Amino acid sequence: MEKGNRFFDKVVHLIVYKGKAIETIFFLGTLLCAACFPFVKVNYDLSKYLPQFAQTKQALDVMEEEFGYPGLARIMVKDVSLPEAKRIREKISDLEGVDVVIGPDRTTDVYMGTPFANQGFAGLSLDSSISMDDFYQDGNALMDLIFVHGDDSPITRKAIDHIYEIVGMDRGYFAGSAISSKEREESITKEITMAIGMALVIIWLILTLTTTSWMEPFLFIFVMIVAIVLNMGSNLMFGTISFFTFSTAAILQLAVSMDYSIFLLHTFTHYKNTGVEIKIAMEMAVKESCRSILASGATTIVGFLVIAFMRFTIGKDVGFVLTKGIVCSLATVLLLMPTLILHFNEKIEKTAHRSFLPSFDPFARWMNRIRKPMFVIAFILAVPCYFGQNMNAFYYGDDAIGAGPGTRVYEDTKAINEEFGKSNMIIGIVPNGSVVTERQLTDALEDLDFVKYAISMSGTIPKGVPESFLPDQIRDQLRSDRYARLMVSVNSVQESAYAFSCSQKLEQVIKEYYPDDSYVIGMTPTTMDIRDILTDDYNKVSILSLVGVAIVVFITFQSILVPILVIIPIEVAIYLNMTLPYIMGDSLVYIGYIIVSCLQLGATIDYSILMTNNYLGFRKTMKNTDAAMAAISKSMLSILTSGGILTVVGYLLFFTSSIQAISQVGRLVGRGALLSMILVLSLLPALLSAFDHLIQKQQNRAGKRREKRRLRYGKIKVRSKGDVDHEEL
């Protein structure tokens, strides 16, 4: 143990006295990660994160092997005649990456003079049950597209650009998963850049109000930018990250880990003001703050890391990247920031200014007066909010990551649905066999009242015409060596109770004709699998997060009761945060629900730890109510700074992102931080004061255990975080 302390002292000494070497290492590392960042790929397809045991994942693997992994689109052309619509459809059909285009000329004799075999897929005659109104109304033509490759394939996106040129952006309306994916990719970088830029400005203003030097905010922000670049560039080790991670990791890392810098600098300032030589003051500051910073980082890491245990592997993607971000922030603060503080110490002193904030003592006295009503209100809210959070209307699949109101994709989708009704493409994969059975299945599917049309090779090709008569290009669209593909258009959105019911009915019908080795594929069945997996993931992840944070707090305070009291205000804040969407009638993205629940616990538990540390420190010389007021006053500045930054960053994501999932996560993060601040400042002091007698008993027993260890090892053990009076997080 003594050797460990000597080693720690040597490391701290190297950090302080080898500043130039550390600066050089971080400079080179930052340049390298900045160069790597453009090569990190971003995935927008939620189905890629399904576990291998999921039925949809197995079906997608079969379809990708046999027919490819198709992207989908829906196009409406305004003010167009049937012959012109046919020409547009043919031009689109000829594009590289386009597999199938179903348009209005499928239902009429507009092209009857064209030789059958040269018309490609459009030459196949559809069943008479398909109406002209499904594809052409009042001069508006509708086309359903299936691409050869996936939604996020470069070939698909290039084809979409050509489609824009063929149709014209002024007369065309474009919807579908492939269109949404392309628009997300083009907008996401711009939106995140704007959000981070605005966040930096607002964070600078917050730090200017809460610090006492004009130089300090710039130093804090610079250190965090270095940590963010290190994290985002090192994502190259994963090859590809999710759009969700790409959109949120940098800005959340900025907000969550700013506290570490603030605490180190303020601890250094405290020692420097005692008259100690500047480098010795920094050594003392690093030694004292290191344990608290690491303990604070540990709670956040636990909150992020448990997300990686989700079976829906986007959790692993988000959890690992955010955890790595906190590690980068800890390393940057503990290694780089000391040398930067020493380097710019003179400028920090020259730009010093008086504090802009008043004393928080009056607020602390007011909080003390309302502590009992707050205790009662929190108790009354906790139980209904616990159950209320599960009553939200949730989105699970592609609709959850779709563009929000006001975006072109959203408005175009709405316009197409109003003109032609909803359309949801579901694909059936069945083994090759009897052509008669395949035709009977096609007829049975078309007889379902929610099916607009069903297309298969045997159900579409005119009777008496052998499949061998058709060119390979046409035959490959609906049949491979082992399987046949059926394309079914369902009159529903992709995600709703009705859509789920339709998908289940489709699967039942297909299984009646092909009980074995048949599959149903599409956004709706994929969403159903995601729903089932995520619902189970939440129970596991929430328990792991709670237990993990409780263990960290237990180690910190060496008490069983204190972790319970510390966690209660944060858990009540989480329940209330997640219940408000139900009260307001908003739908909630389930991925965001899981991730923010863990994030809010891991990121804001530090407020409770800080308040409890200060309370226990003041309790040594004060009565419980006086200690509670003093702890509120002392903790207020740090909690407002940290919580204010997280609140601002969250709401910036909410207001700047056009992607519903990102926007909702931003609002949940911002509102969650605000609620956590309120409850820590009001409910926690009441809890600490009410259970003071039991807390003091456990603290005394912990003190006796530490004294025994001191006598056993013949030296004074370094005090734990629970014994240190903290001024900042």
Of residues 59 and 328, more confidently modeled = 328
**Contacts of residue 46, Cβ cutoff 8 Å, sequence gap at least 6:** 314, 397, 398, 400, 401, 526, 530
Mean pLDDT of 237-263: 87
| Closest among 490, 453, 411 to 174, alpha carbons compared | 411
Helix (H) or strand (E) holding 465: none
What is the rounded distance in angstroms from the CA atom of residue 49 to the CA atom of residue 716?
Answer: 51
The mean pLDDT of 99-118, rounded to a whole number, is 56
The chain-wide mean pLDDT, for the chain, equals 84
pLDDT confidence of residue 8: 77
pLDDT in tens, 453-483: 888 888 777 666 667 666 666 677 788 888 9
Name the burial class of residue 166, with classes exposed (0-12), middle (13-18) and buried (19+) by CB atoms within 10 angstroms of its CB.
middle
**pLDDT tens profile 407-433:** 788 889 889 988 888 888 899 999 988
Tell me the pLDDT band of 126, cut-offs 50, 70 and 90: very low
Q: 75: closest CA among 47, 60, 95, 45?
A: 95
pLDDT for res 471: 62
Single-letter amino acid code for the residue at 253 = Q
Percent of the chain topping pLDDT 70: 90
Mean pLDDT to the nearest integer, 361-385: 85
Provide the token pair at 522: 């599409």
Percent of the chain with pLDDT over 90: 24
The residues that bridge with 145 in the sheet, in sequence order, are 73, 101
Once rounded to an integer, what is the mean pLDDT over residues 276-281? 89
Answer with the residue of higher pLDDT: 231 or 54. 231
The pLDDT of residue 340: 92
Q: Quick: pLDDT tens for 540-588.
A: 888 888 888 888 888 888 788 888 999 999 999 999 999 999 998 888 8
Residue 125 is predicted with a pLDDT of: 44
pLDDT higher than threshold 70 for residue 512: yes
Dump pLDDT digits (tens) for 587-612: 888 888 888 888 888 888 988 988 99
Listed range (148-152, 157-161, 233-237, 639-643) with the worst mean pLDDT = 148-152
Q: For domain 360-391+559-729, which architecture applies?
A: Up-down Bundle (1.20)
> What is residue 629's predicted lDDT score, i.e. its pLDDT?
92
- Looking at per-residue pLDDT, the higher value among 659 and 40 belongs to 40
Rounded distance between C-alpha atoms, residue 122 and residue 145, angstroms: 12
The residue ranking higher by pLDDT, 431 or 402, is: 431
Contact at 8 Å (CB) between 373 and 148? no
Question: How far is 57 from 161, CA to CA, in rounded Å?
Answer: 29
Question: How far separated are the first and last CA of the chain, in Å rounded?
Answer: 27
CA-CA distance, 465 to 470, in Å (whole number)?
9
Instruction: Answer yes or no: is pLDDT of 719 > 70.
Output: no
pLDDT single digits (tens) 647-692 = 998 999 898 888 877 888 899 999 999 999 999 999 999 899 889 8
Q: What is the pLDDT of residue 593?
A: 87
pLDDT at site 116: 38
Separation of alpha carbons 75 and 79, rounded Å: 13
Where does the pLDDT of residue 404 fall: very low under 50, low under 70, confident under 90, or very high at 90 and above? low
Round to whole Å and give the CA distance between 604 and 301.
Answer: 12
What is the average per-residue pLDDT within 223-230?
94
- Assign 514 a pLDDT band (cuts: 50, 70, 90): very high
Q: According to the model, what pLDDT value does residue 727 have?
A: 41
Residue type, 513: Y
Q: What is the dihedral of CA 564, 566, 572, 577, to 10 degrees?
A: -140
Neighbours of 716 (CB within 10 A): 10
User: Which residues of the chain are in CATH 1.20.1640.10 domains?
Assistant: 360-391+559-729
Choose among 485, 525, 487: nearest CA to 503: 525
The type of residue at 402 is G
Residue 225's closest CA among 215, 233, 237?
Answer: 233
Three-state SS string over 60-107 comes to: HHHHHHHCCCCCEEEEEECCCCHHHHHHHHHHHHCCCCEEEEECHHHC
